[in-house]
Amino acid sequence: MTNFFEKVYKIVSNVPQGKVTTYGEIAKVLGTRDARSVGWALHANSDPTIPCHRVVNKEGRVASGYAFGGAGVQRKKLLKEGVIFKNQMQVDLKKCMINL
């Protein structure tokens, strides 16, 4: 599983500031439909240089259980980078989603 996690981290590392991607998009790039495993990989990440906060669900919602301080912390990090939100906890995917 570690190799899978490393692949996830490499993809996430390429998401630029001000943009987001989804768990499902990362899974698709990796040739799987298992978005949950992508979430597990991000939850297990111990490298603070990996921008895990740039990954949201398929609807653009931040993670209620964001592993690094909760949804409010994830939202704050994204706002600081210029990510546009449709409402309190939902990113505007049309404006901020990056194609992988």
Residues 84, 82: Cα–Cα separation, whole Å: 6
Residue 52 bears catalytic tag:
yes
Q: Which of 52, 56, 78, 83 is catalytic?
A: 52
Q: For strand 21-22 and strand 55-56, is the pairing parallel, antiparallel, or unpaired? A: parallel
Take residue 60 and report the two structure tokens written for it.
């653009």
Active site residues: 52
